[in-house]
Amino acid sequence: MSDFLMPSLGADMEAGTLVEWLVAPGDRVEKGQVIALVETAKGVIDVEVFESGVVEECYVAPATRVPVGTPLARIGSGKRVVAELPGASATPAAAAAALPPSAETAAPAAPPEPSPAPVPTPPPGPVPTSEGGRRAASPAVRRRARELGVALESLSGSGPGGAIVLRDLDEAAGRAPRSAPRGGFDPDEMRRAIAATMSRAKREIPHYYLATTLDLHAADAWLADYNRDRPPEERLLMAALFMKATARALDRYPDLNGHYGEEGFQPAERVDLGMAIHLRGGGLIAPAIANAAVLDLPVLMSRLTDLVQRARRGGLRASEVGGATATVTALGEHGVDTVYGVIHPPQVAMIGFGAPRRRPLAVDEMLAIRPTVDVSLAADHRVCDGHLGALFLNEIDAQLQHPEAL
């Protein structure tokens, strides 16, 4: 038996809002199953459970904002199922003590006596309202209602105590539950979160920077040949080659792949490569492609496309948002030659790719016009120095000179 906690979805996250439970007490869940939606500064995230078992109790009601690490539910064998809806059950004392004064949570009730039989749900009472007479609903639900043009006052909520949840909006709009995009976020809140994280990074991480220009002649020729007879949906982009070459280089130089914490640097067992994605309407998020160094290029391309789409419409998973071991940022589509990134703590490296361009290049004592790209490295001086950083950039170059082996 263990508690399911509010996850940390990045170094800039201190608290999150539970938007909706996708399971109920008594439901069996499997490792990796999405069981809740959590709203952060970067949107609504699907949160998975990391062990199999039975949901015995839900401690926190939807629309409640709680700090990272707060127990949200109990996962066990199913012998101690408490069937009250979230909000009717007791919040653990430790979680209540951790809540800041401004947290939106109900006062804890006395713990119910364990009972082998489910407790019947009380009959619906008056329609719940928040302060000011508004219907009870989370910020994410209110944003989604505005997008769909649905008046909350016209709905009967199916959430705890009659609160309106995302499922009610989907049904009111004639949609299958959770089929609609869920990518809303507050740009100002996201910008504050990004600023806080980057300020911390520049204050705490002793950055050093390196950059070089890579010859893309071999990669460009191989890519053109690979894509020639394939339909558009099966073609590769140069970005996939950049990601794969970077992942392999990180695998060879593990001092740049991992996290720096209170106990110092801990290298990661695999390369979970983050990709910085610009969100429509402003903002930035960097979800990770798991085990990128061993993925075939078509699979890597598919994963990259999927991440970009889900990042912009909503539907990223917690393991993707908070699990990167190093991150790539690429501004080539904006015509930028060189980008120097800021390391995202607790990572220790940020790799930047600019726009591929045709430039004069010395080749075998001759001047040739070749496709090139500028690649940069921002690395943590607490972990390594410029010598290793240079070897790392040279390894990316070596990987791209043999694209058929990627």
Q: Across 364-401, where does the E strand assignment appear?
A: 366-380
Residue 155 and residue 135: Cα distance in Å, rounded? 9
Q: How far apart are CA 351 and CA 332, in angstroms?
A: 13
The conformation of residue 263, written as its DSSP 8-state character, comes to T
Q: How far is CA 35 from CA 30, 179, 297, in A?
A: 10, 16, 31
Beta-bridge partner residues of 362 = 367
As a whole number of angstroms, the longest Cα–Cα distance in the chain is 85
Distance CA 80, CA 75 (A): 10
- Helix%, strand%, coil% for the chain, nearest 5: 30, 25, 45
Placement of tokens 């990074």 in the chain: 201
Q: Rounded to an integer, what is the distance from CA 327 to the centroid of its chain?
A: 12
Q: Phi and psi (nearest 5°) for 74? A: -110, 130
Q: Which of 94, 10, 30 is nearest to 59 (CA)?
A: 94
Give the residue from 309, 382, 311 showing the smallest Cα distance to 343: 382
Residue 291 in tokens: 């085990």
pLDDT at 8: 81
Q: pTM here? A: 0.70
End-to-end CA distance of the chain: 43
pLDDT for residue 85: 55
Q: DSSP letters along 250-271, please?
A: HHH-GGGSEEEETTEEEE-SS-
Instruction: Evaluate whether 307 touches 275 at the Cβ level (below 8 Å).
Output: yes
Residue 64 backbone phi and psi in degrees, to 5: -100, 130
Amino acid 147: pLDDT: 65
Could you write out the DSSP letters of every residue in 134-149? PBPB-HHHHHHHHHHT
Domains of the chain as residue ranges with CATH: 2-172 (2.40.50.100), 194-405 (3.30.559.10)
Task: Establish how many alpha carbons lie within 13 A of residue 109's alpha carbon, considering only the half-sphere containing its beta carbon.
Answer: 13
CA 114-95-22 angle, 5° bins: 70
Integer Cα distance of 204 and 227 in angstroms: 44
Per-residue pLDDT tens digits of the chain, which is 406 residues long: 788 888 887 766 788 889 889 988 889 999 888 899 988 877 788 888 888 999 989 999 998 888 988 999 999 888 888 876 554 444 444 444 444 443 343 334 444 444 444 444 444 444 445 444 566 666 566 767 766 777 777 777 765 556 677 667 767 766 544 443 444 556 777 788 888 888 999 999 999 999 999 999 999 999 999 999 999 999 999 999 999 999 999 999 999 999 999 899 999 999 999 999 988 767 788 999 999 999 999 999 999 999 998 888 778 888 888 889 999 999 877 888 999 999 999 999 999 999 999 999 998 889 999 999 999 999 999 999 999 999 999 999 999 999 999 9
